[in-house]
């Protein structure tokens, strides 16, 4: 019922009668007929409007006169709203205070449970002196543990983080903590994917960390998200959510060696157009390799941390550069190209009667792209020019252009 009372309930009839009461003073029972006539309402409509205005406190009863009977005085909407909504607002304030107390109780209990984690880990270490692996399914507990563990880092922090653009809120929150660690002398090494270089927010965050002493490198494909603290504790993502806390020495040694292998093969995070071109070329080569292995566009995009649209654009450019008309043909050309890497290609020997290769497109004269993966010399700069040349060859000799077309395509 309270929700019903909060809905707008003033119709045109009530508004007309409210306006009349404001202009003509108190609305007495004896003046209902006059009010109905002057507002073009029936008496029944007028009495319904009086009931509505009374319910919304826009009309308030006044002392009745013996000659006129009951009467109502129009009052301001502000006063009416204060009277009507005060009880509801008071109830809402009470509910908000109760929710605030319950939220504080939940937070207090959470902090109490998190405070028991050192005791739990101490017991686990005593029971398993050679190390242990723990599963934390509660993301709040994982967050609290991670903040405490990173804050207590003494020597080195290793981070492997896949994906393209990182959430700006997370980077903004972690930046002061990371800068404080670097200022304290902790060595920080971060491994990202190449595509992070093309995200403005992630690049700006990386520049600040590098300026403070962090080391950042990128790879086309990196390990799943991993944080290793002082070589003694690792946070790994759990399959069902949460995180795995690894303290087992042998598993930690394996994770660190895997990280070091990727670190050696990674490219330092540098700026400038040349660095961007090198990374872009590396990305295209990996797309070519994954394409030759039969992966679909969706799998390639997910593996490299790029959008499906960007992946398909790279695949289309790759097919064009290889001179392939299908993904299968591109895979065959890639295999042939990889099989001939390092082979010495003899210089082309002019053959009598055969025209020398031209420096430009036979149709428009534009520079030609590199030879295809099969070693076949290109004669046209684009599919459009190739189609024009094909149509020209199919014309009758009388309609052919005067310029001599080169033999073969």
Question: How does pLDDT run across 317-352, given as a tens digit for each residue?
Answer: 777 776 766 766 666 666 665 554 444 333 434 444
Instruction: Quote the crossing angle between the two packed helices 297-304 and 308-322, to the nearest 10°.
Output: 110
b/e per residue 134-152 (b: at least 16 CB within 10 A): eebeeeebbebbbeebbee
Mean pLDDT over each residue of the chain, to the nearest integer: 77
Q: Smallest Cα–Cα separation from 226: which of 244, 208, 241, 213? A: 244
Distance from C-alpha of 409 to C-alpha of 404, rounded to nearest angstrom:
14
Q: State yes or no: pLDDT of 187 exceeds 50.
A: yes
Confidence label for 312 from pLDDT (cuts 50, 70 and 90): confident
**Structural domains of the chain ordered from first start:** 2-75 (1.10.10.10), 133-271 (3.30.870.10), 274-339 (1.10.10.10)
- For residue 130, the model assigns a pLDDT of 54
Give this prediction's pTM: 0.47
Q: Smallest Cα–Cα separation from 291: which of 248, 322, 260? A: 322
Percentage with pLDDT > 70 across the chain: 73
Distance from C-alpha of 94 to C-alpha of 108, rounded to nearest angstrom:
21
Q: State yes or no: pLDDT of 261 exceeds 60.
A: yes
**Selection from 177-191, 313-327, 342-356, 373-387 with the highest mean pLDDT:** 177-191
Report, as an integer, the average pLDDT of 137-151: 86
Report, as an integer, the average pLDDT of 207-236: 89
> In the numeric block, which tokens belong to residue 129?
């002196």
Distance from C-alpha of 52 to C-alpha of 54, rounded to nearest angstrom:
5
Q: Smallest Cα–Cα separation from 202: which of 99, 305, 120? A: 305
Residues 6+ apart with CB under 8 A from 72: 21, 26, 27, 50, 53, 54, 59, 60, 61, 62
> In the numeric block, which tokens belong to residue 281?
């070329």
Residues 6+ apart with CB under 8 A from 110: 140, 141
């Amino acid at each position: 019922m309270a929700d019903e009372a909060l809905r707008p309930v003033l119709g045109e009839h009530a508004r007309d009668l409210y306006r009349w009461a404001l202009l003509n003073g108190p609305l007495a029972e004896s003046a209902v007929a006059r009010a109905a006539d002057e507002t073009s309402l029936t008496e029944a409509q007028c009495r319904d409007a009086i009931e509505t205005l009374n319910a919304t406190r826009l009309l308030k009863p006044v002392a009745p006169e013996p000659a006129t009977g009951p009467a109502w005085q129009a009052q301001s909407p502000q006063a009416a709203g204060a009277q009507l909504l005060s009880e509801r607002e008071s109830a809402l304030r009470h509910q908000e205070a109760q929710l605030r107390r319950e939220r504080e109780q939940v937070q207090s209990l959470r902090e109490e449970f998190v405070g028991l984690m050192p005791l739990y880990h101490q017991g686990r270490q005593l029971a398993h002196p050679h190390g242990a692996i723990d599963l934390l399914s509660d993301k709040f507990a994982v967050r609290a543990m991670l903040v405490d563990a990173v804050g207590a880092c003494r020597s080195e922090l290793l981070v492997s983080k896949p994906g393209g653009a990182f959430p700006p809120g997370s980077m903004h929150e972690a930046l002061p903590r990371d800068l404080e660690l670097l200022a304290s002398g902790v060595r920080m090494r971060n491994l990202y994917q190449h595509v992070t270089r093309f995200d403005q927010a992630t690049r700006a965050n990386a520049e600040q960390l590098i300026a403070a002493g962090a080391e950042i490198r990128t790879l086309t494909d990196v390990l799943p998200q991993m944080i290793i603290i002082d070589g003694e504790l690792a946070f790994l993502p759990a399959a069902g959510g949460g995180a795995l806390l690894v303290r087992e020495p042998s598993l930690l040694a394996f994770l660190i060696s895997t990280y070091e292998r990727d670190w050696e093969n990674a490219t330092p995070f540098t700026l400038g157009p040349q660095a961007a071109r090198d990374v872009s070329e590396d990305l295209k080569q990996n797309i070519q390799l994954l394409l030759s292995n039969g992966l679909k566009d969706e799998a390639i995009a997910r593996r490299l941390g790029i959008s499906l649209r960007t992946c398909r654009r790279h695949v289309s450019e790759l097919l064009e550069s290889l001179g392939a008309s299908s993904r299968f043909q591109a895979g065959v050309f890639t295999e042939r190209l990889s099989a001939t890497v390092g082979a010495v290609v003899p210089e082309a020997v002019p053959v009598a009667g055969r025209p020398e290769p031209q420096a430009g497109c036979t149709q428009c004269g534009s520079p030609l792209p590199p030879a295809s993966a099969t070693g076949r010399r290109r004669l046209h700069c684009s599919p459009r020019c190739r189609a024009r040349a094909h149509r020209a060859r199919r014309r009758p000799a009388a309609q052919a252009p005067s310029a001599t077309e080169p033999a073969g395509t």
